[in-house]
Structure 1
């Protein structure tokens, strides 16, 4: 009976996602020009047909992304395996057994909301940063939704202090969406997806100061609304790589992930608000509309 209810709910949410998709591409073309420009510049060798297919795939994924938090909201703990699968959890277990906290570097790729089920895979505390919304009611509802599986949600303004002040004798997993755009052009930049990209290095800075093991979350979508999460070690000695080295390894790994299924990254985000225009060829996205 429970399985039947889930299948009915899945059908309902997917139907809503299909409706949202047609709204996004037809009635209200949400940031379509930005998506086109970002994809065209990051994949300069792709044909116009390929770019159109990628854009369509992105908006289908974006529509799914909107409803996916609701899919796991009522999902029984034992049924989560039908939506998300964790691979290489033994890496996390070994690091925690060695009394090493883990800086888990995720990204705006796939369904990062599914990652909030991580406490079901480990006995240690899992902490994640969030940005509060202005509505107190909505903020409280989102916190209940996101902490359902045991994640400790920490306001972004308190994240650095909370992470650095965590008890040394109690290893924890610090989940960070590390591909955030900095508020201004910052001191670190690198070549990412064929573009000069300014980056935030707060996750790496915390890892170095706390001597956390740094782990990258590799994500694959295996079928609609279903994701495969794989833990990949970047380093157990963050001091040896330093902030810049950790971020370079992270962005190289993320680039590989994106190239595998490009439609799953958040292309409508203005990731390259700060970049050098020197030598950059203009992209006429209007011809692709």
Structure 2
């Protein structure tokens, strides 16, 4: 199965981009227009995040998101055969931020969200930066697809660290310089241990690990996001947020990340992954000890999806 799927994807990657984008247009129409894939989730999320926008404005964001969604997968397929010139011309970035930390002998921790096209950003990093990149990922259940994506993501030297065994996997790197890449906007599996604060004004759970790891190891933290210049061309933005995170009070780094992520999403809302239920972990007063926002926590249960029609 592995060789069959890999061979098919590699052959597809040899097609010129105009043909691949034609395929993306067709898949977008088929998936979203004909079958209505996750339209209810998209509408609900955008209604919660942007209540001030009209339904027509939110629908425009949905349409653009849908195109970016299928483009991202098509562009990822292209990476199977794409060379350095192709990749570095399509993903420019502020890579000097990382290299300056490396030259000073420092490790680095990156916090970013699911902004398209993160797969291209990962591959481009290897051509531009000095730190070995440790990329935290969630293994896929399908073994063939998991192997294919592990090989693709490590194409330019990324060392993949499974999220299911992260602590053990990190031991061999603890005395080395590295850049640890964390996509930190996932919904935590355990809301009892999550940090809680408002995200777009709605109580939301955030994974505590990125902040705790940075503060414990006093590892400089860089916030990263990707913007789209035109179809197929992106720019990676990098901002050093704290060089000494152990000096920050608990919760401050996560609050800064929340503010950063909101700003990034508001700037290009169609570039964020809206197709998952971001607020599916409803707030309960039982989580009060983990509330880290600077405003009072809600005094009763909050399930934002109950307040909107889907």
Fold shared per TM-score above 0.5? yes
Matched, 1:105 2:130: no
For residues 242 and 100 of structure 1, what CA distance do their matches in structure 2 show? 22
Alignment partner of 1:209 is 2:236: no
Aligned residue for 2:159? 152
Matched, 1:54 2:61: yes
Structure 2 equivalent of residue 184 of structure 1: 190
Which SS does the other structure have where 1:73 is aligned? coil
Q: Does 1:135 align with 2:160?
A: no
Q: Does structure 2 retain, via aligned residues, the 8 Å contact 1:181–1:200?
A: yes
1:190-222 Cα offsets, whole Å, 9 max, x none, are: 111221111102112211122110000022111
Partner residue, 2:290: none
The number of aligned residues is: 279
Gap runs ≥5 in structure 2: 1-12, 284-300
Which residue pairs with 2:228 in the alignment?
221
Q: What is the rounded CA distance, in whole Å, between the counterparts of 1:27 and 1:122 in structure 2?
A: 42
Q: Could you tell me whether the CA contact under 8 Å between 2:110 and 2:222 is conserved in 1?
A: yes
In the alignment, which residue of structure 2 is the partner of 1:267?
274
RMSD: 2.1
Alignment CA distance shift 1:7-1:183 (3 Å):
closer
The secondary structure found in structure 2 opposite 1:150 is coil
Distance 1:79 1:38, change over 3 A: same
Residue of structure 2 in register with 1:70 after alignment: 77
How many angstroms apart in 1 are the aligned matches of 2:190 and 2:31? Answer: 29
Matched, 1:120 2:145: no
1:174 and 2:180 correspond: yes
Deviation at 1:55, TM superposition (A): 1.2
Q: TM-score, normalised by structure 2?
A: 0.84
Provide the TM-score with structure 1 as the length reference: 0.90
Counterpart position of 1:284? 309
- Unaligned runs of 5+ residues in structure 1 are 1-5
Runs of 4+ in 1 over 6 A off after TM superposition: none
The alpha-carbon distance between structure 1 residues 230 and 164, as it changes in their structure 2 partners (threshold 3 A), is farther
